[in-house]
Amino acid sequence: MAYGGDEVNAIVLDMGTYSTRIGYAGEDLPKVNMPATYGSVLDPDTGLFKHYVGDEGVNIYRPKMRLSNPMREGMIYEWNAVEDVLNYAFHSQLRCNTADHPILFTEPPWNNKWNREHLAEILFEKYQIPATFVVNNAVCSAFSAGKGTALVVDVGQDISSVTPVVDGYALTKSIQRQPIGMSLLTNTAYMTLTTPTLERVDAIELHSHQLISSKKPMGYNAKPIYTLRQDRLLNADQSWRNQMSRRVVEDWIEVCSGALETTFTVEEADKKGTKFYEFPTGYQAIFKGSERLHPAEIFFNSSALNRIRSYGPPPIAENHPSQGRMIPLQEALPLQNLIAHALDLQDIDVRSSLMQNVVLVGGGSMLPGFQERLLFEVSNLTRNKNYKFHIPTVPWERRFSSFLGGSILASLGTFHQLWVSREEWNEFGPDILAQRCK
């Protein structure tokens, strides 16, 4: 029981736009990390939709399975499949009886009251949990880096956000967020890969492996020879095919992409060397530094940003709009400007502590060179040498930072007095959540 910990078998639920992370408090990794998207297939007999969740639900080919993402801006937007997701996590993966486990869930700082209360209601009513609590995921990320006061920079799937956290409270008025996230990077990389170049005269075909029945081993840069599964091609839903192609691009990004540590020039980027990648079709290519590292310029470079503005904004939540303002894509700023702007809005008495405790998290921070580049750009922009970045060195601590922070919080002995119990929920109604979880 060192470090003030006291395990009460709490479960931490962290839902993001890209993946949902669920696990036990006190552990540093989620037990379940499943895609946020779910598949639905119309059952012709009953006329009802059957939902498929989890990796094996989504990534497996099923005739006419439509994929959709119930999350927008990190908030639950579509509630049809939420219970399927929770059932899958609690019953098939964790195999636990939820009546024994208090559940702490995270929410983005701009979540609305209705959403939060609705999820709590589902947990209490459908899963009979004894108690719940909701925390801001930026606060969790700060905790995961061991900080109570931090400027949390989260480059997530749909959104990059900068959230000041002071003594464990997110300062909601000065949060900056804009729809420049990893999904936009995926779009950009998609364009890069499907645009022919001098060396690659053909666009790369991004069929996913589920659609390929056979392929031949080929040399570098040779035109691939493969056959597609025609039956699947005919019956697969377009949304599923798109999503699977995006998975191919995401994998390419993970293997090949990254950011250049300094201002981008073709010569400088080419010095970073080439990388080899084999696509599911059997096509093997070598990518030059300038090609690999250019997509990530959308985060730092306004001219690269200008190019992608034409892609149009990602979908936003409409039925229960988020709180606060999202900077529209047309006005989006490079990340360093976003950080500097957020800092400018801070009270002078906390500004320097925030500057010295910048915590970088989210899928974007996984890109090699991303942190170095951000630090470079920030100190170039502001000429202030006092910025200090605290970037967890263990990669999954960055990806699962909000889970980890929640996990730390829910296993603290001093925390257990804060749970909103079933009794309180019944007595005071949903308003208790806002009062307790400040």
Chain residues that interact with Mg ion, rule: CB under 5 A? 16, 156
The one-letter amino acid code at 138 reads A
Q: How far is the CB of 184 from other proteins (least distance, A)?
A: 29
Nearer to Mg ion, 346 or 365 (CB): 365
Measure the CA–CA gap between 263 and 386, rounded to whole angstroms. Answer: 21
**Per rule CB under 6 A, count of chain residues that contact ligand ATP:** 19
Which member of 12, 18, 39, 359 binds ligand ATP (CB under 6 A)?
18
247: Cβ contacts below 8 Å, ≥ 6 apart: 59, 208
Measure the CA–CA gap between 342 and 164, rounded to whole angstroms. Answer: 8
Binding map of other proteins across residues 12-51, x = CB under 8 A, - = no contact: --------------x-------------------------
Among 434, 423, 411, which Cα is nearest to 129's?
423
Q: How far is the CB of 349 from other proteins (least distance, A)?
A: 6
Contact 267, 203 (CB under 8 A): no
Which member of 211, 367, 391, 408 binds ligand ATP (CB under 6 A)?
367
Contact 379, 388 (CB under 8 A): no
For tokens 């899928």, name the residue: 363
Q: How far is the CB of 149 from other proteins (least distance, A)?
A: 7
Q: Which does 181 bind (CB under 5 to 8 A by kind): other proteins, ligand ATP, Mg ion, none?
A: ligand ATP
Helix axes 137-144, 401-409, angle to 10 degrees: 80
> Any idea what the Cα angle at residue 231 is, between residues 230 and 233, rounded to 5°?
60
Give the chain's end-to-end CA distance (angstroms, integer). Answer: 27
Among 116, 104, 68, 139, which Cα is nearest to 323's?
116
Which member of 10, 11, 16, 403 binds ligand ATP (CB under 6 A)?
16
Contact 121, 93 (CB under 8 A): no
Binding map of ligand ATP across residues 138-167, x = CB under 6 A, - = no contact: ------------------xxxx--------
- Exposed, middle or buried, 197 (CB in 10 Å: 0-12/13-18/19+)? exposed
Residue 413 interacting with other proteins (CB under 8 A) = yes
Beta strands in 363-416 (DSSP E): 389-390
Which member of 84, 107, 117, 250 binds ligand ATP (CB under 6 A)?
250
Binding map of other proteins across residues 120-149, x = CB under 8 A, - = no contact: ----------xx-----------------x
Q: How far is the CB of 116 from Mg ion (least distance, A)?
A: 16
Q: Calculate the CA 91 to chain-centre distance.
A: 24
Q: Which does 58 bind (CB under 5 to 8 A by kind): Mg ion, ligand ATP, other proteins, none?
A: none
Of 15-23, 139-147, 377-385, 418-426, the window that binds ligand ATP (rule: CB under 6 A) is 15-23
Among 45, 41, 42, 43, which Cα is nearest to 57's?
41
Q: Which does 278 bind (CB under 5 to 8 A by kind): ligand ATP, other proteins, Mg ion, none?
A: none
Q: Which residues bind other proteins (CB under 8 A)?
A: 1-2, 4-9, 26, 100, 102, 130-131, 149, 166-167, 169, 171-174, 347-353, 355-356, 383-386, 413-414, 416-417, 419, 421-424, 427, 438
